[in-house]
Amino acid sequence: MQKLGFIGMGNMAIAIAAGIIDNRLMDARDIYAYAPHYDKLKANAERIGFIAYQSLTDMVIECDTLVMACKPYQIEGVLSEIRDALAGKTLLSVASGWDYDTYAQYVDATTRVQFIMPNTPAKVGEGVFLFEEKNSLMTDEQQEVVQIFEALGRVVVLPSNLMKIGGVISGCGPAFIDLVIEALGDAGVKYGLPRAQAYQLASQMILGSAKLQLQTEEHPGVLKDQVCSPAGTTIRGVGALERAGLRAAFLDAIDAIMIGS
C-alpha cells in the first residue's frame, strides 16, 4: 500500500495508526484520517503524525487503502457517500459485525475487502487481530496487511462462522481479565499491599503466565499443575476457586454474550 486512510479516528484507529508510525511500517506523511470532529482529529494528527482531512471523499480519493474505523451504525451512511470513490481500492474494516458478505451488499465489486476484529491491547502492541478467512485482497496485499498488524500483536485467521466466538474471547476477554486484576488487587490491599503495587503484581503475573503458555504451547492444566505442590498453598486456592465455580462463571459469561447477541 502507498497511502493509508482511516475513516473514523477513535481509540482503536489511533492505536493502529500510532503503531504503524512508531514501528516505521509506513511514513507518517502517507497516513491520513477523516473524522467528523475536525479539531479533535487535528490535535491527534499533530500528536501522532498522520495527516488530518476535512473531506471524507477527498481522503478516500487520495488513498489506495482505507480502514473503516467508525461506529458500525454509521457505516451504511458512510458507504452511500463514498461507494464510487472506493471502487478499485482496498477496504480494511475493524468495525464489529461488518463481515465480508455484509460489505458485498454495499460496495462496488471492484472494492477489495478484509474484515478484521481487533482488541484493546493493540494499544500497547499486544493486540489480537482476527482476520476473516473470506476476503478479496490480492495475495501481495494480504501479506502486507498481515505484516503491518503482526507488528501490533498477533494475527489469527478464522473462517467466517468462527469470527463471532473468536471476537467474544479476544474482544470481551480483556474486560473479564480486568475484573480478575481488580479482584486480586483488592485481595492484596486487604492484606497490606499498596493498591498500585497490588495491581502491578497481578497484571505482570497475568502477562507472564500468558506469555509462558504461548511460548511453550503447554496445556494450561499442565502449567497449573506445575505450580501446585502436594498439600501446598496454591492447590488450596485452586480448590476454593473450583468450589466458587470459576470455570462455570467464564463459560456462563461466554454463553450470555453468544446467546444474547
Q: Is the confidence at residue 261, as pLDDT, over 80?
A: no
Q: Is the confidence at residue 184, as pLDDT, over 90?
A: yes
Residue ranges with strand state E in 24-161: 31-34, 51-53, 65-68, 90-93, 112-117, 127-132, 153-158
Measured between alpha carbons, how far is 204 from 191 in angstroms, rounded to an integer?
19
**Beta carbons within 10 angstroms of residue 76's beta carbon:** 12
Q: Report the pLDDT value the prediction gives residue 219, as an integer from 0 to 100.
A: 98
Strand partners, 132: 158
Measured between alpha carbons, how far is 19 from 123 in angstroms, rounded to an integer?
8
SS3 content of the chain, % helix, strand, coil (to 5): 60, 15, 25
- Do residues 68 and 7 make contact, with C-beta atoms less than 8 angstroms apart? yes
Pairing outcome for strands 112-117 and 153-158: unpaired
Q: Report the pLDDT value the prediction gives residue 110, as an integer from 0 to 100.
A: 96
Residue 137 is placed in which grid cell?
Answer: 485482497
Q: Is the confidence at residue 20, as pLDDT, over 80?
A: yes
Q: With cut-offs at 50, 70 and 90, classify the pLDDT of residue 1.
A: confident
Q: Report the pLDDT value the prediction gives residue 170, as an integer from 0 to 100.
A: 95
Query: Each residue of 115-174: pLDDT tens digit?
Result: 999 998 988 889 999 999 999 999 999 999 999 999 899 999 999 999 999 999 999 999
Q: Report the pLDDT value the prediction gives residue 123, as an integer from 0 to 100.
A: 85
- Percent of all residues in the chain with a pLDDT value above 70, rounded to a whole number: 100
Q: Report the pLDDT value the prediction gives residue 71, as an integer from 0 to 100.
A: 93
DSSP state of 133: S
Q: Report the pLDDT value the prediction gives residue 107, as an integer from 0 to 100.
A: 95
Q: Both ends of the chain: CA-CA distance in Å?
A: 35
Within 13 A of 71's CA, how many CA atoms are on the CB side? 3
Q: Report the pLDDT value the prediction gives residue 9, as an integer from 0 to 100.
A: 94
Q: How many residues does the chain have?
A: 261
Average pLDDT rounded to a whole number, residues 232-240: 97
Q: With cut-offs at 50, 70 and 90, classify the pLDDT of residue 213.
A: very high
DSSP state of 25: S
Mean residue pLDDT across the chain: 95
Average pLDDT rounded to a whole number, residues 40-51: 94
pTM of the model: 0.92
